[in-house]
Amino acid sequence: MTTDFSSSLRMVSQDPGAAKPDPILTTSNVRRSFGGLVAVDVDHLEVQRGVITALIGPNGAGKTTFFNLLTNFDQPDAGTRVFEGRDLSGIPAHKVANLGMVRTFQLTKSLSRMTVIDNMRLGATSQEGEKLGKALLPFTWKRQEAEVTARADELLERFNLSHMREEFAGTLSGGQRKLLEMARALMVQPTMVMLDEPMAGVNPALKQSLLDHVKGLREQGMTVLFVEHDMDMVQEISDWVVVMAEGRIIAEGPPESIANNQAVIDAYLGAHHDSALDLGVE
Amino acid sequence: MDFLAIFENTVRGLIGEQFIYFGLAAIGLNMHYGYTGLLNFGQAVFMAAGAYGLSMAVVSLGLNFWLGLVLGIIVFPLILSLIMGAPTLRLRADYLAIVTIASSEMFRIIARSPSLDRWTGSSDGLTAFANDFYEMSPFQPGRRYLFGLFIGNQMWVVVVGWALLATVVTLVWAMMRSPWGRVLRAIREDEDAARSLGKNAYWFKMQALMLGGMFGALGGMLRAIGTQSSQPQNFITDVTFFAWVALILGGVAKIGGPVLGAAILYGVLNFTDIALRQMVQSGIMPESIMDGTQVGQVRFMLIGLGLVSLAIMRPQGILGKKEEMALDDH
Ligand SMILES: Nc1ncnc2c1ncn2[C@@H]1O[C@H](COP(=O)(O)OP(=O)(O)OP(=O)(O)O)[C@@H](O)[C@H]1O
Ligand SMILES: [Mg+2]
């Protein structure tokens, strides 16, 4: 069922740093160290447009740090990141979001003392009412506000959060917060969504619907890059898998091939070689 | 005991000049801390900006009163916000706290310096710069108004003050209902989340710092007008913390919080002051426990006690909601 989308990647070689036919995001020689620890050292990575790419790797591999570097929430020591043909060096994080690349956080950032619907409304970009000069003139933004609210309500419906509309986001359960954060990111109307462990702490029933949402994004033409430890999910929805270990990209390829890759098996198993590798493939 | 005097003085505290000055300053702090999460421990320097903006313009520079208003309410606070905010608003909240408290002390010490006497009047400060203001007064200076609570000029200050308070409260209420206010709240809750959704957190924080500073300047300026003097010792750090007490007492992030808090703070201060004095005078309070000269200190002890009990029993302030406060522990 994923073949429609992954077909664009059929001819791509399965070496780390392989060139893609239509990359939306390209990074070269991105390095970031904390003191003596090199957290990220990625020679080259291209992310194909319009597909779902999974970024996997053991704990501490540098996935979140890499996400931070891609979205300019953190600055690399060296290297270039190009998104949709634009060099991201020196661009503040909020501008990266406005360019169409929106991320979520591993530790959810729900705005606790704001209602769910206000969390959603906040996500809309280019709001006239966010200009101080116009804040006091409601007639200049009332219409846009209504449009934003309508769009927010639609998304809440899709993410099964409508009944929590007026509640403070701080009262949501962990799984509901993950849903809210993803829905809120979509309010930005991004071209690329970066999800850092969207399934962590989400119950299995909800997981299936989240999976469907992520697939839905691809159907709408969005590019998805997500970090995930749940290999069933990776196998089910990703078109391409990138594996990180100790800051480097050690393998990439279609999900079926990754579980048999020797470098990946070594990275995951590390010291205890006797246990079997379960990457969700029989 | 003169119960009428006790009553009158308490009412004067609840609605009088101090209530207005500190109410305005606390509204500014609410903008900073309550809505945006900025820690400003130097509201006194914004108040001083208002006071000195006007008085220096009129006395030292010989400009007219209206230009002084613009300087004190707009120009000085904006410059201060830029100086204090530009280097700190990109950093963690504590840096702004350090810079604001340092700036307010620096300003006070510099203003007091004898070498600046011809500009700031050094420790004596500047006086008689608000004559234009009192000339506009519809009240007769010699008469008493509002059941005899306020004399003419005082009445004028209080009436203008109430109008300003009402205006500023309405302004803040309207702004916080707008998408602009929503961004501020989001920054208070989680700045990174706001940035991840494309909001320029730095710039919004700067705007909040400026606006809250302008409200503080308004309070400080009115205070200078009310006493016809700006003096360095009117802007010691205690002043900042009185505004904080008013805010916390009334309820953080509530539109009416700072106003109610300032009213209660000065109502209680005035009440304890006169009630204790009367008790000492009439002999109800034996000399062995306290005498008249100790009233000033004792009333602050009582206020402190009241605040501690509030912190235990109602940490969210009078208008705050406990459930909302609980959501804070992420
Ligand atoms: N701000 C920081 N200061 C110091 N070290 C850091 C910092 N952020 C990350 N690191 C280190 O960088 C390495 C990579 O961390 P990162 O959070 O990127 O891993 P991850 O792949 O996301 O792991 P997980 O799967 O557990 O989320 C870790 O060793 C971590 O300790
Ligand atoms: Mg991580």
A74 touches chain B (CB under 8 A): no
* Cα of A34 from ligand 1 centre, angstroms: 9
Three-state DSSP state, B4 = helix
Residue of chain A minimizing CA distance to B34: A113
Domains (ranges, CATH) in chain A?
Answer: 5-110+190-269 (3.40.50.300), 113-171 (no CATH)
- pLDDT score, position A281: 45
Please give the full DSSP string across B10-74, using - where no structure is assigned: HHHHHHSHHHHHHHHHHHHHIIIIIIH----S-HHHHHHHHHHHHHIIIIIS---HHHHHHIIII
| Residue B194 with chain A: CB contacts under 8 Å | 94, 122
Nearest-angstrom CA–CA distance, A62 and A31: 11
Instruction: Establish how many alpha carbons lie within 13 A of residue B101's alpha carbon, considering only the half-sphere containing its beta carbon.
Output: 11
The tokens for B274 are 């006169």
pLDDT tens sequence across B133-173: 999 999 999 899 999 899 999 999 999 999 999 999 999 99
**CATH code that applies to domain B3-326:** 1.10.3470
- pLDDT score, position A96: 96
Average pLDDT, chain B: 93
Q: State the ipTM, two decimals.
A: 0.91
Residues on B contacting A at a C-beta cutoff of 8 Å: 171, 174-175, 178-183, 185-186, 188-190, 192-202, 207, 211, 253, 323-324, 327-328, 330
Protein residue with least CA distance to atom 8, ligand 1: A65
The answer to whether the beta carbons of residues B129 and B72 sit under 8 Å apart is no
Please give the full DSSP string across B164-188, using - where no structure is assigned: HHHHHHHHHHHHHHSHHHHHHHHHH
**pLDDT at residue A1 above 80?**
no
- The percent of residues above 90 in pLDDT, for chain A, comes to 71
Cβ neighbors of B96 (< 8 A, separation 6 or more) are: B38, B39, B40, B84, B85, B88, B89, B209
Average pLDDT, chain A: 90
Residue of chain B minimizing CA distance to A124: B197
pLDDT tens sequence across A195-218: 999 988 788 888 888 888 899 999
* Antiparallel, parallel or unpaired: β A86-87 and A101-103: unpaired
Mean pLDDT of A66-75: 96
pLDDT tens sequence across B296-322: 888 889 888 988 888 888 888 889 888
Pick from A72, A104, A126, A136 the residue to mutate for testing the B interface (most B CBs within 10 Å). Answer: A136
Percentages helix, strand, coil for chain B (3-state, rounded to 5) are 75, 0, 20
The answer to whether the beta carbons of residues B250 and B6 sit under 8 Å apart is no
Tell me phi and psi for residue A26, to 5 degrees.
-130, 130
pLDDT tens sequence across B215-260: 999 999 999 999 999 999 999 999 999 999 999 999 999 999 999 9
- pLDDT score, position B328: 63
Of the pLDDT bands very low, low, confident and very high (cuts 50, 70, 90), residue B293 is confident
Higher-pLDDT residue of B209, B290: B209
Buried b (16+ CB within 10 A) or exposed e, B245-275: bbbbbbbbbbbbbbbbbbbbbbbbbbbbbbb
| Beta-carbon separation of A94 and B327 below 8 A | no
Buried b (16+ CB within 10 A) or exposed e, A21-38: eebbbbbeebbbeeeeee
Protein residue with least CA distance to atom 6, ligand 1: A34
**pLDDT at residue A232 above 90?**
no
Q: What is the CA radius of gyration of chain A?
A: 19
| Beta-carbon separation of B328 and A97 below 8 A | no
- pLDDT score, position A268: 77
Q: Which helix (H) or strand (E) holds A25?
A: strand A23-34
* Cα of A90 from ligand 2 centre, angstroms: 24
* Cα of A65 from ligand 1 centre, angstroms: 6
> How is chain B split into domains, by residue range?
3-326
CA distances from A222 to A121, A214, B256 (A): 20, 10, 45
Of the pLDDT bands very low, low, confident and very high (cuts 50, 70, 90), residue A4 is low
| Residue A138 with chain B: CB contacts under 8 Å | 174, 178
| Beta-carbon separation of A113 and B328 below 8 A | yes
pLDDT tens sequence across A165-192: 999 999 998 888 999 999 999 999 999 9
Protein residue with least CA distance to atom 3, ligand 1: A34
